[in-house]
Structure 1
Amino acid sequence: MSICSNNYFPYVRILFNSLLKYHPESKLFLCLADKQDSLFPLEIENITIIEAEKLNIPDFYDFAFRYDIMEFNTAVKPFMMQLLIEEYNFDQVVYLDPDIELFSPMESVFLALDNGSNFVITPHITKPSEENTYPGDIGVMQSGIYNLGFIAVNNSHQVINFLHWWGRKLRFYCVNEQHNGIFVDQKFVDLLPAFYDNVKILKDTNINVAYWNLLQRNLEKKEQSWFVDGQPLVFFHFSGININNNQRLSKHTNAFHGNLSEDLQELIDNYISKLKYYSFQNNIMPKYCYGNFTNGVFISTIIRQIYRKLKNVWYENPFLSFCDYLNQFNRSFNNNLSDFPLTNLMVFFWESRLDLQQSFNIFNNNKDRKRYTFWFLETAEENQFEYYFLQPILDKISGKLSHYKSLSFSQKKSQFPINVIGYLKTETGVGQAGRMVINSLQSVNINVKGYHIDNNFVRQNDFQVRDLLVSKINSPIHIYKVNADQLGIVQQEVKNYRNKPDFTINMPAWELSKFPQEWVANYGNIDEVWVESKFVQVALQAKLSLPVLFMPPAVVIGNVKAVNREYFNLPKDRFLFHFNFDFASFSSRKNPEAVITAYRKAFRHQKSDISTGLVIKTRGYDPDNKNYQKLLEIIEEEDDIIVINEYLNHSEVMALMNCCDCYVSLHCSEGFGYTLAEAMLLGKPVIATNYSGNCDFINQETGFPVDYKLVSLKPDEYPFAQGQKWAKPDLNHAAWIMQKIVENHSETQNIALAGQNKIAVDYSPINAGKRYIKRLQKLGLI
């Protein structure tokens, strides 16, 4: 038997195939520490798969919730072995980790069992290990004398008693806390030889060979067979191997890293070759079914640790209810200092770290409590706390930070328009966003005027709101639709053309998770900030001592030029992917190269009955054409990748998007993602990095989110890059999605339709306008 989650199927395929080769008489079982996924079948015949949930584990969801994926995979071991002995009545059971491969029969194991040993285990090392590399003697003592990647047992009362004892311990204590003397299931088995006499400690050096003992053993290949210390290798344990690095045996040690012996290099190369053969299409990793709350929110390690410390058993399903408990405001800490109430998560996190306790006195110091609140928001991303856990904090502090006093009744007259100040004629994204603010306010019958800020660097020929523009600002309410870096400059420019406002709102765009401290000073005369995404809300609220509110914007397509593909010289008979970006928004952030690479991965070497193409539309300021030339060089001699680098008005841009079949954005970060929302409104399936502002409207139901990992920005990649992180999209995952979209038209269209409805309803001008007016009414401004 073995145990793994879906993501380890490539490993367990190697194990089971080697077992079938050397022990064809055996019955093979897999305990799936996950749920079966039809998209990722095991694809090996005669293997019995038993999901962990089907085992006799008390309070299963409590059990699954308290452990991360590694801990959970080890915690189910005694329960699976109990099942095979007590219900299937097997005489002998052998457990092997999924990252093991057999090279000859396990004769010594079965000989020990046949000779009456109830247990067979192998020590990590069989002689002193005093090398300077991990694990050595001390590391072995910390993690466990015996390696529990292997254990064999007979069906006996002793074994049954032990498995039940082991299961009781792992029910609550299967944790990776070596500093506390516990290492998952493994450390408990140090006690096994003390409990029972008939324990065979198998010291044969040709069995369970791995990075932890290979320095003490001689691996060699003779006549196409593997030997260790002159004996045939029985099985090798490839713990910590990396499919993308054949120069390192294991990520867990610096030993066997570069300059490998010829024989070891061949062994590693062979195993990695098999891993690649058995890997999923495009190396896509299945999702772990116990990795998220039922509502989709990620369960971080710290959340599991908090859960374990609370009580032994959560009497409800924690996947359903524990997230709500974490979001409740802590009663013990919120009796007196109510200006900045703390959620349970905030309190438990503070209690878990000594450095936080030393830095913030949250008991009786309101200033420290405020500082801790802002610190919690600013570091939420690196601590893996999703927006869900920040929303109650943001809702509370936005009210606490507001210092506005309502206008008197006499001032609330309809003759006072709301003034929107921005680049209202410019043919840019920020210009269009400003015009949409005016459009949204008009849609709910608000008296609104616009004041245009000249920008000589871009075209200023958009006259959608020309009739509403004024040369003098005369209103008690000003909305600045300009970004933070220009806010001070714009305010100074219009200073001589306006009456002093009673209330000033800024609606900036920003694209990274941390807001620059250098721009905070620009907000001295601002009363409130409205932002387009939850991502930006967290970034700004962590820095600004004034309310920052999430106000989803309006998204409209406008008039779409009635043209077909021929107008743009596009092929008629291809499924076309599309990406549109502005060089002025930084190609490093927009990441067009990633779209190209993912497209190549999807279709260069994959057979398909449908021809495909990729259309990239570029625009904006590109100094010296450097980035544009780089883009052309990347796609040289690839006739199915088309770059359009010419001016198109908004109607033509929408027409081009409409002529293509699917929109792709593998951005590193987005403040909102207007082109994605526009494509969705056109009814196109949208593939997008599952990070930043677009996550408000793109999920599994409305689009095709792409996995990513966070990486640190290089100093020259983006303004204010120091200390920032953004997403590196998983291009294998993106390529896989591209293939699925081409292959599964009906399913794709259902998701695209849901996405279209999402934007049409939630991001309509009238609903955006209703949100604006609701807030202004709450403030007493209208």
Structure 2
Amino acid sequence: MNSVTPRRAIVTICSGNYFPYARILLTSLQKYHPEASLFLCLADKLQPDGELGIPGVEVIPAADLAVTNFPDFAFRYDIMEFNTAVKPFVMQDLIENRGFEEVVYLDPDIELFAPMNPVFDAFAEGADFVITPHITEPAEFGEFPDDIGIMKAGIYNLGFIAVNNSPDGISFLHWWGRRLRFQCVNKQSEGIFVDQKFVDLLPSFHDNVAIVRDRSLNVAYWNLDQRELTKTDDGWLINGQPLRFFHFSGISTKAPQQLSKHTARFRENLSPALQEIILHYIAKLKHFGFGCTANPEYGYARFDNGVAIADIMRRCYRDTEDLFLENPFASFADYLNQPSAECFSDTPWLITNLMYYFWREREDLQQAFNLSQPDSRHSYGLWFIQNAPSCGIDAYFINPVLDNVGYFYANQIKLCPQQYGSRQADVGVIGYLKAETGVGNAGRMVASSFCDSQVEIQGYNVTLNVMARQAETKVDDILASKIDSRVEIYNVNADQLALVRKHLAGKTSENAYKINMPFWELSKFPTDWVNNYQGINEVWAPSRFVQGAVQTAMTIPVIWMPPAVTLDQFTPRDRSYFKLPDHTFLFHFNFDFSSFATRKNATAGIEAYRLAFRDRPNNTPTALAIKTRGYDPDGKNLQKLIDFTADEPDIYILNEEMAYDDAMALMNCCDCYLSLHRSEGFGYTPAEAMLLEKPVIATDYSGTRDFIDSTTGFPVSYRLISVKENEYPFWESQTWADPNLDHAAWLMRKMVSDPTHTKQVSLAGKHKILNEYSPKYIGQLYKQRLQQIGII
């Protein structure tokens, strides 16, 4: 036997979110296999601050591998599929380009506890391949991972495979690579499970395959029923022999009483040894950064335009066989939004390619909606608008459908000024025009926008149920004691609409064209309020989000008509005026308790800030300033916030009453506005921050999406969660966003470390608001809509 150790490489594959796992594996490999060269293949994009932090380990970006049309390869798979699909390609690279004689692959969620001698002994005895079976005896307990379940997933566990530099080894890797280039999918019902099921064929294709049944290798939830784990002073044992490596597949730091999320077994009454090894691994994960360091978002999670890629879009791309795109990240989003050629695209109800694929995938939708019928296409459009977000579909793919539905109603309206007779004004703006409130400001901005569009207007100040100060004077010159106009625009929310109209009886015209501009913060519009719209002809929604919520509940036009955003003059202040530190990068959030603290989600911003900067070296000192205001009668909400940030001197809670001048000066002296909201009807404060040329980090959900994307701000990924009881009015069956704190924290660090990019984005954000939300621009939108229906 040759006593010279062959050139040996050991490689793992992961995306950036799995670095803590990989660090455990790689440090254990350095301990037990110092003779091997260690590699990590990064199934992700390289990030400036995404350092692995393990000296002596080379990182190979997946994009550097010899894969034909890599963008197509990365796009067609979700993160799990992609991590497994690159496996044969990186092993080819290590053998064919770097000349290693033995290459071992290990999943990142493995830890070694002893050398892998049986693997290398098999190579020394002439094996070209070394694999380990999931189970080594029958498993007939009737639940996964029983032997039937293992047959579906694959006989051999591909968290481990070793290949020799031989003609057979190279031939197999090329065949495996050809298959995984296009067919590395999770379709167990069709006999395919990513990379794993293909290796069932390996012993049939090649000789010299060592199927190593050593119980000390690849111990995991799928075989622990068949092996006894114990602990002695010398370490962990399997069946009395030293444990070589344990595969912690499916472990959760939030559930230390269970071994894996992938099985119902090993969830209670764990043996002392099993409980100890679980706690040991969780402690190591935290030591290596899990849950206490910021992770970037998966680099292949979005189109080039910043829109999130849902799994169904990857499936649609794979199944669209007649479509070839050199870079689907750049162009496939447009294809998804195009009218489906297979589905009556010449009719008023637009069915996009994405909608058609969605419908084709789901039998329940096919049964519910007959797309050959116009009414059914209409119903499917409304269903898609309301339900697509919960399926992970970005608003970018919903808005064209929303416009189509809204304008179908809108285009049926044709009026003329003469039918309304002689009136004192073209438009009457009805709202809380003197109230110092957000809704009051919205009404004033509508009035100002019409003034800039040279439309004759009147204004009526509503005082019904108003508790705020009536001190605003900006539109006093248009106020009247009654409204006499062809168009009446009610700047009141839906819950007050019927009350206000009743209160104004005799002060408005019965036959005026009536428009409501409501704000609402959840994705489903309350059915209790629909009756309030009797006699209302049209709704102008301040955001796409509100448009979608209202249109699915109404049979009148719901048109996206955003409000104007402006800043009044204010006196700039330095930070000492607010007792805030100089020479720090200062994050800021401002919210009103009366707007529901849970919705505003200030604690998420605090947690993201901690994750980004607490106990992590940073060249620039940072701080977080949170300004609170509004109705908090017993002070409990404020006290919770103070207690939540106790003993954190870099987090400032400001609860003083501030006039507009000081509130804007505070925002102006900060470096970033942070809004990890659960939902916003529009998002005035982030928009105002953008006008001040402040970079904005905001949850990529609801109203703020209209003006914040990756070119104008820093959108944070999220998942939808149910609104809990009494967290918001009409909470039943509602969802809102749970922002990804890892992503938010990573963006915060990136913002501090890359001021050039931050400046470019904040400048683009300022121009976005200046150009598309100015009173002049918005006033023209309003005027064009009224001209379109023929009323002015």
In structure 2, distance between residues paired with 1:421 and 1:584: 23
Q: Is contact 1:217–1:229 with CA below 8 Å preserved after alignment?
A: yes
Counterpart of 1:278 in structure 2 is 288
Amino acid at match of 2:427: I
Counterpart of 1:447 in structure 2 is 456
Counterpart of 1:37 in structure 2 is 47
Report the RMSD for the aligned CA atoms in angstroms: 2.6
> Is 1:481 aligned with 2:516?
no
Counterpart of 1:704 in structure 2 is 714
> Is 1:399 aligned with 2:407?
yes
Q: Deviations over 1:561-607 (max 9, x none)?
A: 45555655556676544332222211121123333444455566456
> Is 1:186 aligned with 2:212?
no
2:114 to 104, 110, 118: 104
- Assess, with a 3 A threshold, how the Cα gap between structure 1 residues 671 and 144 changes in structure 2: closer, same or farther: same
Amino acid at match of 1:291: A
Q: Percent identity?
A: 54
> Is 1:372 aligned with 2:372?
no
1:113 to 119, 123, 141: 123
Amino acid at match of 1:21: K
- Assess, with a 3 A threshold, how the Cα gap between structure 1 residues 564 and 231 changes in structure 2: closer, same or farther: closer
- How far apart are 1:318 and its partner, in Å? 1.9
Q: Deviations over 1:297-334 (max 9, x none)?
A: 21111111222222176244222222211111112321
In structure 2, distance between residues paired with 1:738 and 1:77: 33
2:545 to 522, 532, 535: 535
In structure 2, distance between residues paired with 1:717 and 1:209: 45
Amino acid at match of 1:547: P
- Assess, with a 3 A threshold, how the Cα gap between structure 1 residues 530 and 5 changes in structure 2: closer, same or farther: same
1:329 to 319, 333, 339: 339
Counterpart of 1:499 in structure 2 is 509
1:683 to 693, 696, 704: 693
In structure 1, distance between residues paired with 2:622 and 2:419: 64
- How far apart are 1:155 and its partner, in Å? 2.5
Counterpart of 1:349 in structure 2 is 358
Amino acid at match of 1:383: C
> Is 1:227 aligned with 2:237?
yes
Structure 1 portions without partners, runs of 5+: none
Equivalent runs, 1:683-762 vs 2, <5 Å: 683-735=693-745, 737-738=747-748, 741=751, 747-762=757-772
In structure 2, distance between residues paired with 1:681 and 1:220: 63
- How far apart are 1:718 and its partner, in Å? 0.6
In structure 2, distance between residues paired with 1:744 and 1:83: 34
In structure 1, distance between residues paired with 2:108 and 2:613: 32
In structure 2, distance between residues paired with 1:639 and 1:48: 39
SS at match of 2:389: coil
- Assess, with a 3 A threshold, how the Cα gap between structure 1 residues 634 and 502 changes in structure 2: closer, same or farther: same
Counterpart of 2:172 in structure 1 is 162
> Is 1:78 aligned with 2:117?
no
Structure 2 portions without partners, runs of 5+: 1-10
Amino acid at match of 1:384: G
- Assess, with a 3 A threshold, how the Cα gap between structure 1 residues 147 and 640 changes in structure 2: closer, same or farther: closer
Amino acid at match of 2:67: I
- How far apart are 1:422 and its partner, in Å? 0.8
- Assess, with a 3 A threshold, how the Cα gap between structure 1 residues 56 and 743 changes in structure 2: closer, same or farther: closer
In structure 2, distance between residues paired with 1:246 and 1:509: 44
- How far apart are 1:178 and its partner, in Å? 1.2
In structure 2, distance between residues paired with 1:614 and 1:400: 47
Q: Is contact 2:423–2:484 with CA below 8 Å preserved after alignment?
A: no
Counterpart of 1:388 in structure 2 is 396
Counterpart of 1:213 in structure 2 is 223
In structure 2, distance between residues paired with 1:568 and 1:30: 48
SS at match of 1:226: strand
* Residues 90-99 or 413-422, more deviating: 413-422
- Assess, with a 3 A threshold, how the Cα gap between structure 1 residues 378 and 213 changes in structure 2: closer, same or farther: same
* Residues 271-280 or 421-430, more deviating: 271-280
Q: Is contact 2:295–2:742 with CA below 8 Å preserved after alignment?
A: no
1:581 to 561, 583, 591: 591
Q: Is contact 1:401–1:547 with CA below 8 Å preserved after alignment?
A: yes
Counterpart of 2:4 in structure 1 is none
Q: Deviations over 1:641-681 (max 9, x none)?
A: 55444543323322333344433322211111111222222
Q: Is contact 1:6–1:32 with CA below 8 Å preserved after alignment?
A: yes
In structure 1, distance between residues paired with 2:550 and 2:354: 21
Q: Is contact 1:62–1:313 with CA below 8 Å preserved after alignment?
A: no
* Residues 652-661 or 597-606, more deviating: 597-606
Amino acid at match of 2:51: P
- Assess, with a 3 A threshold, how the Cα gap between structure 1 residues 356 and 73 changes in structure 2: closer, same or farther: same
Q: Is contact 1:414–1:447 with CA below 8 Å preserved after alignment?
A: no
Counterpart of 2:438 in structure 1 is 429
- TM-score, normalised relative to structure 2: 0.92
Q: Is contact 1:18–1:103 with CA below 8 Å preserved after alignment?
A: yes
- How far apart are 1:621 and its partner, in Å? 2.8
Amino acid at match of 1:424: L
Counterpart of 2:301 in structure 1 is 291
Counterpart of 2:672 in structure 1 is 662
Q: Is contact 1:404–1:527 with CA below 8 Å preserved after alignment?
A: no
- How far apart are 1:122 and its partner, in Å? 0.6
- Assess, with a 3 A threshold, how the Cα gap between structure 1 residues 198 and 610 changes in structure 2: closer, same or farther: closer
Q: Deviations over 1:474-526 (max 9, x none)?
A: 11111111111112222222232122344222111111122222222222322
In structure 1, distance between residues paired with 2:181 and 2:647: 60
Q: Is contact 2:339–2:345 with CA below 8 Å preserved after alignment?
A: no
- Assess, with a 3 A threshold, how the Cα gap between structure 1 residues 743 and 285 changes in structure 2: closer, same or farther: closer
